[in-house]
Structure 1
Amino acid sequence: MKNYVKHYEFIANAMEELGGKIPNTMTSFGELHEKTITQGVLSSKVKELIALGIAITVRCDGCIAFHVHDALKAGATNEEIMETIGVAILMGGGPSVVYGCEAMEALKQFNA
């Protein structure tokens, strides 16, 4: 079983290291993330839930770790995250069931 809290920390550190090696790209990506997730017509919470749904359907463990973490930080409830997993399964089929289970595990770990 993956430790999503440690995986989140690993990816965060790796992204920082990557930023030192390709600063223009990573600075631009960081700015894109910040400006996209900022409250607009959609709340930051809703945007994080959308990102989580996409992370599940594209099968990205690191993205699942980040967006579960950030959705909780943005005020998402466990129920909202679980419903997001359900929508991802609708759109992604069987593989999204597997990665939905991964997202559920990440939720449990970040809540612990």
Structure 2
Amino acid sequence: MTNFPERYKELSTWMDKLGVAIPQTMKGFSELHKASIAPGALDSKTKELIALGIAITVRCEGCIAFHVHDALQAGASKEEIVETVSVAILMGGGPAMVYGIEAMQAVSQYQQQG
């Protein structure tokens, strides 16, 4: 089983390194992320849950690590994440179910970590 808090830290470190190698690209990505998650007609929590649903359906383990973390930080409850997993399974079928399980493992790990 993936250790999602550790995966989050590892990816963050490597994203910093990538920022040194390709600073303009990573700066652009960072700005895109900030603009996309900023509150608007939808609040940041809702946007993180949408991102998590997409992460599950496209089968991106690292994205799950980030968006579960960020959804929890934005105030999402376990129940809201469970419903997000449910919708992702609707849209992505069996593979989304497997990655939805990974999202639930991530929730559990982040909650244990505090």
TM-score, length-scaled by structure 1: 0.99
Tell me whether 1:10 sits opposite 2:10 in the alignment. Answer: yes
Q: Distance in 2 between matches of 1:50 and 1:28?
A: 21
1:11-68 residue CA offsets vs partner (Å, 9 max, x unmatched)? 0110010000000000000000001100000000000000000000000000000000
User: What corresponds to 1:108 in structure 2?
Assistant: 108
Q: Distance in 1 between matches of 2:66 and 2:50?
A: 13
Q: Which 5+ residue runs of structure 2 have no aligned equivalent? A: none
Q: Which 5+ residue runs of structure 1 have no aligned equivalent? A: none
Tell me whether 1:40 sits opposite 2:40 in the alignment. Answer: yes
Equivalenced residues, count:
112
- SS of the aligned residue for 2:39 comes to coil
CA offset at residue 6 of structure 1? 0.2
Q: Distance in 1 between matches of 2:22 and 2:55?
A: 24
Q: Distance in 2 between matches of 1:16 and 1:81?
A: 28
Q: Distance in 1 between matches of 2:45 and 2:39?
A: 8
Quick one: which amino acid aligns to residue 100 of structure 1? G
Aligned Cα root-mean-square deviation (Å): 0.3
User: What corresponds to 2:65 in structure 1?
Assistant: 65
Q: Distance in 2 between matches of 1:30 and 1:13?
A: 14
1:54-108 residue CA offsets vs partner (Å, 9 max, x unmatched)? 0000000000000000000000001000000000000000000100000000000
User: What corresponds to 1:82 in structure 2?
Assistant: 82
Q: Distance in 1 between matches of 2:99 and 2:35?
A: 27
Q: Could you list the structure 1 runs, at least 4 aligned residues long, displaced by more than 2 angstroms after superposition.
A: none
Counting aligned pairs with the same residue, the percent is 62
TM-score, length-scaled by structure 2: 0.98
